[in-house]
Amino acid sequence: MTAPIPGRSSDSLAGLREVFGYAAFRGAQGEIVDHVAAGGDALVLMPTGGGKSLCYQLPSLLRAGTGIVVSPLIALMQDQVAALTQLGVSAAFLNSALDADAARAVERALLAGELDLLYVAPERLTTPRCLDLLARAQIALFAIDEAHCVSQWGHDFRPEYLQLSLLHERFPQVPRIALTATADPQTRTEIVSRLALGAARMFVSSFDRPNIRYTIVDKVDPRAQLLRFLREEHPGEAGIVYCLSRRKVDETAAWLATQGVNALPYHAGMDTAARTEHQSRFQREDGIVMVATIAFGMGIDKPDVRFVAHLDLPKSIEGYYQETGRAGRDGLPAYAWMAYGLADVVQQRRLIEQGEAADEFKRLSSAKLDALLGLCETAGCRRVRLLDYFGEASQPCGNCDTCLEPPETWDATEAARKALSAIYRTGQRFGAVHLIDVLRGKDNERVGRWDHDKLSVFGIGADLDADAWRGVFRQLVSLGLARVDHEAHGGLKLSAASREVLTGGQRVEMRRVVPRRRPTPVSRTAAVGHLPPGAANLLERLKAWRLAEARTQSVPAFVILHDSTLMEIARTRPQNLDALASVGGIGARKLERYGAALLDLLGAQTR
Ligand code: ADP
Ligand code: ZN
């Protein structure tokens, strides 16, 4: 059934309200919708959660014919189509998951002009058969989602995407809209040239994700720190825990499970069936913690991921931004948490230096790592640093750890000198653990074996505890004042810059490593959006109703109604259909379908 919207772009706001149930466009959405509905090409750069889908879905309804959406992840097409169907939009998909009969039915519907939107996998779209099919149908527009997949330098490169310039050649009169959340200028340029979008209008949004709170803590006892974060700040919530290696993913997931956390592993070494099952459970069930390598993530469109935790350092700020960006697509408070220590720096440096890549690539990777270390060590606002990296100026945000609890800095010149002397006197081949023992005057077997208790540096650092020294060594390395020697199993060496500190009188300022006070469990109160007393209870009942409804229809819960919609209902307790219709996320079709049940639930509460 085609949604009843007249084909004029001045009706975009009416369409937004009627079909999607939203009161207003977000950011540039309105402009983009009008531009594409009027037949223009567009390149849309918007952060995750910014509302990109609406930018092609609504114009597809406003224009005559079917909007064709190219999307790389067939696993998610089904959910997207389910969500559109809930809105009363006629949508379907064509991919390898369909058997021949089902595919023919979709093709017939397309040719009969019965579809508003059709999702197609890129490898399928570029086949002669599919192109012929499209030539016989009326096409409203082409939407190329995750357009950065066309970039060979990015990590999501899909060779099939290179073929998509075909669309412009075969259907020059059909408007195209390419969308991505990838912020860097190099990728942008590549999208424009490879997809022949030189004449397209470019819409660049701010890449800030104001609802995400960034926190980077000193790694002391990572498992215990993670468990505390999960138990005290995010009990029962869905989130992702990123680890560097497959083995660590497996071990961490298994250990979390023994601790009563609903955790599942995900990495590219697992067999496809198990991987798909875990991804689908994460997407559909409430409150699963996915422990994963970065193989997990692209195209995850679960709106209520409440946190992303990093147990290991990402490779770059781009990676950090993209991975943490999977939290909080629904705009509700979300948390990016990372535990970071010297071993991470050592490990990342080794990966770069011992990798197979060309020298130029190694230099680039190393510079990217340095930028990330700068973010980790900054005493200023994390968000300011992050946005600055993407060329966006901003003010301290008030929603990151350094804004909320400004770190103390201290004059670490003396400590840095002692640490560098210890590196030098012990022959520039020992790691921080041993150096700390020497500095603190520990009389253990290893120290004795090397006669390090006879050195002048033995015991000169007894005034600082081991945690403080770990912080000193980590910062020396991330500030470039000491180097990691990978030939010597990660031993520390002096760098050119070390001399400035040892003999040149350079002052060194460092962040003080403090055993963090227990963080206030912000998320519990914040995620419930300051609900008045009683409303939290009502929210639980609404969620229970939604879960039952989702099970009956076998769709993910968020496809029925989003958390933010349920929260608004719990807060405002609408008492009739009109009031319910003004709640964000309730369009005409959802009102018709669920209005009575919701009012029933609300009535039972108030009476
Ligand atoms: P993206 O694809 O950019 O990551 P989505 O299209 O998934 O983002 O949208 C993110 C969330 O914002 C979804 O929950 C969507 O329903 C919601 N949303 C989009 N546009 C609006 C709007 N104008 N008003 C309110 N919510 C919106
Ligand atoms: Zn801040």
Identify the CATH number of the domain in which residue 595 sits: 1.10.150.80
CA of 225 to the centre of ligand 2 (A): 22
Q: Are residues 99 and 147 in the same domain?
A: yes
Residue with tokens 């680890």: 243
Residues with CB under 5 A from ligand 2 (ion): 381, 383, 397, 400, 403
CA distance 64 to 8: 10
**Confidence band, pLDDT 50/70/90 cuts, at residue 364:** confident
CA distance 343 to 313: 10
Q: Per the domain annotation, does 5 fall within a domain?
A: no
Closest atom of ligand 1 relative to the 53 alpha carbon: 6
- The protein residue whose alpha carbon is closest to atom 15 in ligand 1 is 51
Q: Per the domain annotation, does 517 fall within a domain?
A: no
pLDDT value at residue 565: 93
Closest atom of ligand 1 relative to the 303 alpha carbon: 14
Domain that holds residue 96: 12-204
Q: Does residue 87 or residue 76 have the better pLDDT?
A: 87
Contact between 62 and 11 under an 8 Å Cβ cutoff? The reply is: yes
pLDDT value at residue 155: 67
DSSP structural state of residue 176 = E
CATH of residue 419:
1.10.10.10
**Confidence band, pLDDT 50/70/90 cuts, at residue 4:** very low
Pocket of ligand 1 (CB under 6 A): 22, 25-26, 29, 46, 48-54, 301, 303, 329-330, 562, 584
Q: Are residues 278 and 134 in the same domain?
A: no
CA distance 317 to 375: 8
CATH of residue 264:
3.40.50.300
Mean pLDDT of 525-531: 51
Candidates 60, 329, 332: which one to mutate for ligand 1, based on the most atoms within 8 Å of Cβ?
A: 329
How many structural domains are present in the chain?
4
What is the residue-wise DSSP string for 365-418?
A: HHHHHHHHHHHHH-SS-HHHHHHHHTT------SSBHHHHSPPPEEE-HHHHHH
Q: Which of 389, 212, 381 is nearest to 307 (CA)?
A: 212
Q: Per the domain annotation, does 427 fall within a domain?
A: yes
**Confidence band, pLDDT 50/70/90 cuts, at residue 2:** very low
CA of 41 to the centre of ligand 2 (A): 36
Residue 46 reports pLDDT greater than 50: yes
pTM metric for this prediction: 0.82
Q: Are residues 290 and 322 in the same domain?
A: yes
Candidates 26, 145, 567, 590: which one to mutate for ligand 1, based on the most atoms within 8 Å of Cβ?
A: 26
What is the residue-wise DSSP string for 413-452?
A: HHHHHHHHHHHHHTTS---HHHHHHHHTT---HHHHHTTG
Mean of pLDDT over the chain: 89
CA of 563 to the centre of ligand 2 (A): 26
Q: Which ligand is nearest to the CA of 378?
A: 2
Please provide residue 127's backbone torsions phi and psi, each rounded to the nearest 5 degrees. Answer: -75, 150
**Confidence band, pLDDT 50/70/90 cuts, at residue 11:** confident
CA of 9 to the centre of ligand 1 (A): 20
Candidates 19, 20, 148: which one to mutate for ligand 1, based on the most atoms within 8 Å of Cβ?
A: 20
pLDDT value at residue 8: 43
Q: Per the domain annotation, does 220 fall within a domain?
A: yes
Q: Which ligand is nearest to the CA of 388?
A: 2
Per-residue pLDDT tens for 442-467?
989 989 999 999 999 999 999 999 88
CA of 330 to the centre of ligand 1 (A): 7
pLDDT value at residue 152: 77
Q: Per the domain annotation, does 240 fall within a domain?
A: yes
pLDDT value at residue 477: 87
The H or E element containing residue 336 is strand 334-340
Q: Which of 606, 607, 535 is nearest to 566 (CA)?
A: 535
Sheet strands (E) in 99-236: 117-120, 139-144, 176-180, 201-204, 212-218
Domain end point (choices 478, 511, 544): 511
pLDDT value at residue 606: 44
Closest atom of ligand 1 relative to the 584 alpha carbon: 25
**Confidence band, pLDDT 50/70/90 cuts, at residue 185:** confident
Q: Per the domain annotation, does 521 fall within a domain?
A: no
pLDDT value at residue 489: 73
Closest atom of ligand 1 relative to the 29 alpha carbon: 23
Closest atom of ligand 1 relative to the 23 alpha carbon: 24
Q: Which ligand is nearest to the CA of 382?
A: 2
Q: Are residues 358 and 476 in the same domain?
A: no
Q: Are residues 425 and 285 in the same domain?
A: no
Residue 490 reports pLDDT greater than 90: no
Percent composition of the chain: helix, strand, coil (DSSP 3-state, to 5) = 50, 15, 40
Closest atom of ligand 1 relative to the 22 alpha carbon: 24
Closest atom of ligand 1 relative to the 558 alpha carbon: 14
Q: Per the domain annotation, does 398 fall within a domain?
A: yes
CA of 303 to the centre of ligand 1 (A): 9
Q: Which ligand is nearest to the CA of 180?
A: 1
> What percent of the chain clears pLDDT 90, i.e. is strictly above it?
64
Contacts 24+ apart (CB under 8 A), 123-126: 123/160, 124/94, 124/95, 124/96, 125/68, 125/70, 125/164, 125/167, 126/160, 126/163, 126/164, 126/166
DSSP structural state of residue 506 = -
**Confidence band, pLDDT 50/70/90 cuts, at residue 73:** confident
pLDDT value at residue 516: 52
- The protein residue whose alpha carbon is closest to atom 18 in ligand 1 is 51
pLDDT value at residue 604: 53
pLDDT value at residue 488: 66
Q: Are residues 96 and 73 in the same domain?
A: yes
Q: Are residues 272 and 400 in the same domain?
A: yes
Q: Per the domain annotation, does 331 fall within a domain?
A: yes
Domain end point (choices 204, 222, 256): 204
Q: Are residues 434 and 369 in the same domain?
A: no
- The protein residue whose alpha carbon is closest to atom 14 in ligand 1 is 330
Q: Are residues 256 and 377 in the same domain?
A: yes
Lowest mean pLDDT among 17-26, 265-274, 534-543: 534-543
Q: Are residues 40 and 184 in the same domain?
A: yes
Q: Are residues 220 and 197 in the same domain?
A: no
Is 577 in a helix, a strand, or coil?
A: helix
CA distance 194 to 177: 14
Domain end point (choices 167, 185, 204): 204
**Confidence band, pLDDT 50/70/90 cuts, at residue 487:** confident
CA of 533 to the centre of ligand 1 (A): 29
- The protein residue whose alpha carbon is closest to atom 2 in ligand 1 is 52
- The protein residue whose alpha carbon is closest to atom 24 in ligand 1 is 22
CA of 90 to the centre of ligand 1 (A): 19
CA distance 292 to 80: 23
**Confidence band, pLDDT 50/70/90 cuts, at residue 339:** very high
pLDDT value at residue 5: 47
CA of 395 to the centre of ligand 2 (A): 8
Lowest mean pLDDT among 57-61, 146-150, 306-310: 146-150
Q: Are residues 55 and 170 in the same domain?
A: yes
